[in-house]
Structure 1
Amino acid sequence: MPDISCARRALRPVPALAVGTVLLTSACGGTSASTSSDSDLPAAVAQSGTLRVGMSPDFPPMEYLDEKTQSIVGVDVKLVNALGRKLGVKVKIVQQSFDQLLNSVQTGRVDIVMSGLSDTAERQKTVDFVDYFASEGRFYTLQSDAGKFTKPADVCGKTLAVSKKTDYYEQVQKYDKQHCAGAGKSAVKLLPTDSGSAARLQLEQGRADVAVQGAENLAYFEKQDAGKYESVLGPLKSTPFGIVVKKGDSKMSGAILKAMKALVKDGTYKKILTGGGMDYAVTTPVLNGTKD
């Protein structure tokens, strides 16, 4: 479990996430030295010595509330703590609902967002991204049904649950055009849900035959409930998660990109991802890497 023992404030999950903050000092959980000077950061952040980070802790294992401590933990929490150390600032996590994240960085409520948010060409119209994680969508089903899905056409005509708030929803539609409806076979019966957890519930209750979610989520569920689910078929096209920065704020995006590259160089970045079983997600940090 990620170590954020310096995070003291208890936050309890509610149906609609309340806004709260958790202050994580840059000295907590590691010895990676700062590589940035004040001139690397926007003046307001350099003067305050604090980086405000928008995060929606409902996306395990990237960010979620620990059941025992009710502290925000996860891969993104570890990464942003390491990022804060490189920048020489404290990290203050601002807990928000997923729907608030983009607007929050656009309006200056937070300095950046780091919450498993995909870099897309559409989103780049209003914000900038420093890509740091190569996410993959995966088909999965109950382990007892895994043998029914061995080739792409096996999804045709089946009911597939997927969160309509994710990029996987659009990817599944493209998959249907390529392998099913667009290839003269029965169309995939899409069952859109409000979240990944809702899609899993549809699968568990027999309303869906198969579902799609990020590989990182499935790895977490396997640890929590071994043998219940099983990934099938090949992964969907990789889509990078990005650290979100206000559009055109080259000072901030430049500082974040420089610090992320430093974490790659000293091995901290790879250690965090591989430690969580996410070797597939290792990538080279880049600004606005998605082009289409």
Structure 2
Amino acid sequence: MKIRIVIPLLLACLAGTACGAQSLNADPAAPASKSAQPAAQVQAPAEDKAAAVVNAIAADPALNARLPADVRAEGLKMTTSLGYPPMNMIGSDGTTAIGLDPSLGRALARKLGVSLHITDEEFNSQIPGIITGRYDILMSSVSDTAERRTNVTFVDYVKAGAGMLVEKGNPEAIKTPADLCGRTVSVVDNGSSLALAEQTHADCEKNGEKGLDILKFAGDQEALLQVSNGRAQANITDYVVAAYKAGDPKTGTEALSIAGTEALWGIALHPDNKELIEAVRDALDALIKSGEYGKILAAWDLEQLAIESALVNGE
């Protein structure tokens, strides 16, 4: 799970000012300032691994009819924070949004029969952007928490947790954190991964076993390298990051999910926008039931994040 801390709302953000946002059009061939294309023409870019699935999704006129009038007329305004692969990142052209979140955003827009505007926004400005109406939806790997529900409503779309990277073939037969007792692990020196490593270390010693030798690094790449070069037997990180890294055969690693750490991640919307909340939920549910949702996750090697039905605030 990626831990993000929302700082107190800046007055500028509450006023609806840019707060460092970069507009990204859903159609990479069109300038960001141009009106969005009709939904039938919303195209996932070639770098979107799920492009073939997304671009074949047909609009549902019944869902479109239930949308607020402004969304039907102006399109869906989505914000994401590009820089958390494989969930959200910038394409090779330096502007186009790619990753699972943009893929699903485009899929929802096509199913709803509206155009899509994607804006890259600094994370701490995103929830204020939903509150002020600058954006309709926030899709940026955001954990659905009780604290955040005081400001936004979530349509939950995946369940994600912590994971481990181990040597390809898993020669140490590591399956759970308990198997790390007496072993060397690498982590980024902050956040939930370090906390999980430290808790595992304490549990090992409490059970009379040798604790972990924890190697701390400033970034994911340095921590991953310790497994690739054999210095560490495992790298604890977010599962989505582990799966993305393991997808590169040059790393010589494979990803393991850690059971019991999963949490729902949600699409954030304004609580008062009931029509849009219900339409987004039903559009997501339709994509799940049709199998298109699963194919999109599979294209990004993230099948383990799948949920069985769309939820609102976890229910």
Distance 1:226 1:208 in 2: 17
TM-superposed CA distance for 1:203, in Å, is 4.6
- Two-structure CA RMSD over aligned residues (Å): 3.5
Listed as ranges, the matches of 1:143-292 within 5 Å are 147=172, 149=174, 152-156=177-181, 158=184, 160-162=186-188, 164=190, 175=200, 179-180=203-204, 183=207, 198-204=219-225, 210-231=234-255, 234-283=258-307, 284-289=309-314
Letter of the structure 2 residue corresponding to residue 55 of structure 1: T
Distance 2:314 2:193 in 1: 18
1:21 match: 23
1:65 match: 90
Distance 1:241 1:276 in 2: 17
The change in CA–CA distance for 1:162 and 1:251 in structure 2 (over 3 A counts) is farther
The change in CA–CA distance for 1:218 and 1:232 in structure 2 (over 3 A counts) is closer
Percent identity, aligned pairs only, is 26
Distance 2:213 2:128 in 1: 33
Contact 1:55-1:114 within 8 A present in 2 as well = yes
TM-score (structure 1 length as normaliser) = 0.74
Q: Secondary structure at the match of 1:114?
A: strand
The number of equivalent residue pairs is: 268
2:140 match: 115
TM-superposed CA distance for 1:101, in Å, is 2.3
Letter of the structure 1 residue corresponding to residue 90 of structure 2: L
Q: Secondary structure at the match of 1:115?
A: strand
Letter of the structure 2 residue corresponding to residue 28 of structure 1: V
Distance 2:245 2:177 in 1: 24
Matched, 1:136 2:161: yes
The unaligned stretches of length 5 or more in structure 1 are 1-16
The change in CA–CA distance for 1:38 and 1:235 in structure 2 (over 3 A counts) is closer
1:33 match: 59
Runs of 4+ in 1 over 6 A off after TM superposition: 189-194, 205-209
1:7 match: none
Given candidates 67, 86, 106, the residue that maps to 2:111 is: 86
The change in CA–CA distance for 1:21 and 1:191 in structure 2 (over 3 A counts) is farther
The change in CA–CA distance for 1:233 and 1:244 in structure 2 (over 3 A counts) is closer
